[in-house]
């Protein structure tokens, strides 16, 4: 059989598996947006069954034989070879999982998510902790199945940020502590900016409509997606041509909806920018969650929280909410949305103290994996870390350990990618301003499509062709460098706070 025929067999097999996986994703989207409460039990069963089917197809010996033959072939293009190499790596890892484990963890994930929802309704961590303990036991088991060097957390971290290591993150967060902590203290010594206007009453529908307009301005394709409401905003996709976002709306806090829309829109643009011909293949997938997060944080912080963005959009916002903003200037609005102040909720944190939230989760996850931290002690440990790092007293479980959906999904190792993404975002945007003539002026006019196309060309279309490190070096000429974030932070916030 020719390499061409063999490669086509590989593509057909991968797309069949993708069909099942995206069907699972569709069930998950419905579970978080529309599923009635009584549907939870069978939904967990359905997701478990389909997960087992996808796993069995992927670890089938026949696919392994095809991959082995293709790996030794000299008749593939460079991109075809890359697809095969990445799939073989995934195959080797997935082959380690017993089907029984895959089916069980899929069911446990659905059950843990339902327990999380119920615990949030009752504002009681104890309602959640038994299922969370089961989930953590399974993640420890997963780390052993996968194997690791030095720390079990490395096995799970690699699922989200391939190649990243726990000890490297320790060094990165040490830089965060040594640079950001003192800078935030300097800011705290200055008079605080005004934010009262953000907490006025903003009716639901005009908020929703404004968020839709912001997504359209970014270039989000509503013919290939939609927005809905969920308890925790997220982005999901079932192909490059069906990428969906969710948001949440608080009529007494305008910023909740605004940042959810722009943040998730950034994620969605990445998924919509992947090449359709790579559906089901590694080159049709994001390279890492750190790079994925760089796209959402770039749009949210570098664009959406920038003064230029509001030089154009604030006039439109005042037209929608004339009473709420009648005594507010564009400069006051800009300063208000960039207020730096320690808080309880990660997704509502400013872009500086945000990384303290991530440090708390990173340290807890490491402890959960090496058993130095137990689930039963999470509330106490969480609250103590928040007091230490952010100097706040956590008032309730919902504003503390219950605020994130991630652990209910079993997403241990995910949180560090948020900080990595923020740091990548600054480095990428810094390069974009050098390569796109008049970018800042374009942003002021609400003309964002050239930036979207730059990101698409530099990042989106490549999928997993390059590693995160290689991609960063191709775009900026060097690996991830924290200094760019600190330079950006100092310039921006010294201006806002008159330092």
Q: Which residues are catalytically annotated? A: 264
Give the number of C-alpha atoms closer than 13 A to the C-alpha of residue 289, restricted to the C-beta side: 17
Dihedrals phi, psi of 418, to nearest 5 degrees: -65, -45
Rounded Cα gap, residues 50 and 397, in angstroms: 34
How far is C-alpha 190 from the chain's CA centre?
32
Rounded Cα gap, residues 274 and 215, in angstroms: 18
Residue 322's nearest CA partner among 208, 203, 218, 216 is 203
SS3 (DSSP) at 322: coil
Rounded Cα gap, residues 205 and 100, in angstroms: 46
Strand partners, 227: 245
For 161-199, give one letter per residue: b (16+ CB within 10 A) or e: bbebbbeebeebbeebeebbeebbeebeeeeebebebbe
Rounded Cα gap, residues 97 and 107, in angstroms: 15
Rounded Cα gap, residues 489 and 496, in angstroms: 10
Rounded Cα gap, residues 379 and 401, in angstroms: 6
Strand partners, 253: 250
Asked if residues 414 and 160 have their Cβ atoms less than 8 Å apart, the reply is yes
Backbone CA torsion sign across 466, 467, 468, 471: negative
Neighbours of 10 (CB within 10 A): 20
Rounded Cα gap, residues 356 and 385, in angstroms: 10
Asked if residues 186 and 179 have their Cβ atoms less than 8 Å apart, the reply is no
Residue 84's nearest CA partner among 472, 462, 464 is 464
Rounded Cα gap, residues 54 and 46, in angstroms: 12
Q: Which structure tokens are listed for 235? A: 């982005």
Asked if residues 257 and 249 have their Cβ atoms less than 8 Å apart, the reply is yes
The DSSP element (H or E) to which 244 belongs, if any, is strand 242-247
Residue showing tokens 């020719």: 2
């Amino acid at each position: 059989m020719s390499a061409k025929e063999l490669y086509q067999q590989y593509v057909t097999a991968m797309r069949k598996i993708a069909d099942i996986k995206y069907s699972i994703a569709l069930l998950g989207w419905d579970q978080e947006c529309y599923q009635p409460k009584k549907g939870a039990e069978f939904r967990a069963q359905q997701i478990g069954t389909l997960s087992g089917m996808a796993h069995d197809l992927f670890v089938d010996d026949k696919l392994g034989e095809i991959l082995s033959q293709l790996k030794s072939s000299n008749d593939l293009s460079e991109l075809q070879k890359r697809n095969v190499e990445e799939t073989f790596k995934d195959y080797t890892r997935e082959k380690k999982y017993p089907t029984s484990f895959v089916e069980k963890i899929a069911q446990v994930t659905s059950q843990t998510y339902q327990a999380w929802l119920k615990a949030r309704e009752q504002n009681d961590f104890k309602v959640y902790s038994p299922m969370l303990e089961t989930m953590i036991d399974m993640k420890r088991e997963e780390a052993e199945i996968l194997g690791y060097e030095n720390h079990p957390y490395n096995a799970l971290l690699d699922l989200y940020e391939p190649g990243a290591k726990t000890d490297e993150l320790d060094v990165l967060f040490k830089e965060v502590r040594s640079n950001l902590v003192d800078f935030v203290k300097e800011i705290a010594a200055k008079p605080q900016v005004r934010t009262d206007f953000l907490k006025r009453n903003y009716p639901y529908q005009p908020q929703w409509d404004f968020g839709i307009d912001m997504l359209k301005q970014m270039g989000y394709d509503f013919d290939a997606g939609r927005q809905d409401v969920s308890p925790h905003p997220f982005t999901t996709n079932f192909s490059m041509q069906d990428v969906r976002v969710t948001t949440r709306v608080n009529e007494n806090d305008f910023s909740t909806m605004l940042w959810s829309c722009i943040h998730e829109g950034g994620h969605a643009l990445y998924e919509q920018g992947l090449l359709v011909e790579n559906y089901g293949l590694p080159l049709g997938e994001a390279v890492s969650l750190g790079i994925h997060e760089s796209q959402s944080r770039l749009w949210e912080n570098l664009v959406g929280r920038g003064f230029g963005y509001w030089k154009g959009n604030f006039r439109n916002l005042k037209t929608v909410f004339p009473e709420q903003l009648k005594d507010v200037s564009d400069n006051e609005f800009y300063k208000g949305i960039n207020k730096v102040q320690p808080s309880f909720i990660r997704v509502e944190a400013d872009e500086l103290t945000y990384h303290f939230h991530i440090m708390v989760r990173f340290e807890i996850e490491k402890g959960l994996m090496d058993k130095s931290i137990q689930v039963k002690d999470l509330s106490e440990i969480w609250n103590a870390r928040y007091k230490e790092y952010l100097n706040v007293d956590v008032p309730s479980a919902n504003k503390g350990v219950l605020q994130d959906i991630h652990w209910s999904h079993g997403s241990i190792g995910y949180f560090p990618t948020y900080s990595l993404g923020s740091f990548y975002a600054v480095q990428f945007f810094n390069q974009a301003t050098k390569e796109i003539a008049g970018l800042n002026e374009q942003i002021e006019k609400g003309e964002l499509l050239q930036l979207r196309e730059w990101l698409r060309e530099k990042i989106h279309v490549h999928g997993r062709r390059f590693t995160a490190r290689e991609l960063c070096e191709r775009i900026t000429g060097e690996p991830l460098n924290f200094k760019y974030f600190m330079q950006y932070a100092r310039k921006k916030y010294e201006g806002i706070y008159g330092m």
